[in-house]
Structure 1
C-alpha cells in the first residue's frame, strides 16, 4: 500500500505551531511515501516566511512536491509580483511543481495561480500553458496506475465556506478527465472535502485538504492521508484534537 500525506495552506507567518508539530510527529512516526503540499506555504511571501517553510519541508525528510499558492506571490510589491514572483522560492526550487512517481502512482502538477487578473487576485486561474503542461504530464504516465493532479485552487466549487472561482477550471477538469487523470488534489479553501465528479464517460475524484494555520474555517487544523492499493484510493481526513 502507498501512503501519501496531502497538506495545504500552512501559511508560515500565521502558522499554527501546535498543528505543525502534530503533523511533523505523524510524518516522522509513520514515514509516508511522499508529501504533496498544495500551496500557500506563506502568509505574505516574505523572505523569513519562505526560510521557515523551506527548513520545515527539508526537515520532514520525505519526497515532497509543492504547488504555488496565491499567498506565495508578493502582494504589496507590484514589480516583484509581475516580474520576479518566485524569487523567494529559490531555496525550494527542487520541490516546486515537481512530478512524482511512487510505485505506479503518478503526481502531476498544475499551476492555478496568476500574477495579474482584473478581479480578486486570490482566486484561481488555469492558463492555456499550465493546462498544456499538465495534460502532457498526464499523457506521459502509465495508465495502469493512479494519476493524481495537484494544484492549489479547486477547479470547481466544492460546497465549502470559501470559494476558488477558478477561471478555466471547469474546462481544465474536463480536459484532465478525458486525458486520464483519476484524482485532483487542492487546498485554498481551508476545509477538507472529497467529491466524485462525473465528466463525460469518466469519473474523477476531487479532494481538498484543510489547513495547518491559525486561519481555520469550518474545520479544525488537519491534513489528508491517501491510502492507495493499485487503483483503489481511500482518503482519511485527519484532524488535530
Structure 2
C-alpha cells in the first residue's frame, strides 16, 4: 500500500484528489494539510511514502516545505503540484529536492500513474515543464533560486530525489566551466554505464533499455544503481541533467523529445 500525504490550500481540489487516490486499491491517503508547515508536522508524526505539495500555500509554500523535509532526512518521495507552468517553479522544485513536478491539469489516470512511478523510485515531470526545463538549461538563464552545482562525487550512496545541474554552460550544452566539473563526475563510469546513461537521458525506461541493449532487468537496475552511486545523483532526473552538463548528450536532442 502506498501511503500518501497531501498539502494544498484549495479544499475542493484537495478533497477531489483525495477521493480519486482513495479509490485506488494500492493507495491510501494518510492525511491532508492546508499548508507546508502543517505538512511538516504531520509528516513528522505520521510518515508517508509519497507527499503531494502545492507550490503556493500560506504560512509555508511547497518549495520551502520540500527543502525542510529533504534537510530533515524524510524518506517520503515528494511531488510538486501546481497550476503554473513556469521555469522558476520547475527549477525551484528540482533544486529543493522534489522527485516530481506535475501540473494540476494532469489527467487523473496519469497523476495516479505518476504516484506509482515516484514510489518505485523514478521521477516524473509533466511534458510542458520538461520542455521549459530543457529550454532554460539551453539558454543558461538562471531561474529563481538558480541552479545548484554538480552533485559531489560519492562512491557509496546517492538515494532517490530530484535534482538539477548548476551552470551547465550556455549554448548547445558543451561542457564549459560547469560542464568540466560535470564531465569529471562521469570519469569513473564504464563504457556500458555511459551507454545506459545516454539511454536514460533520452527518456527510456528500464524495460526499454533492456530491449535496446539485450540485457536482463537485473543487469540494467545494477547499472542504474551504479550510475546513481558513482555520480552522487539522487535520481534519474539528476542523472539526465548531469549528462547534459557534461556534454554526453545534447540539448537539441532532449528538447525535441520533450516538446
Report the TM-score when normalising by structure 2: 0.29
Higher relative contact order (CA 8 A, sep 6+): 1
Per residue, is there more helix in 1 or in 2?
2
Larger Rg: 2
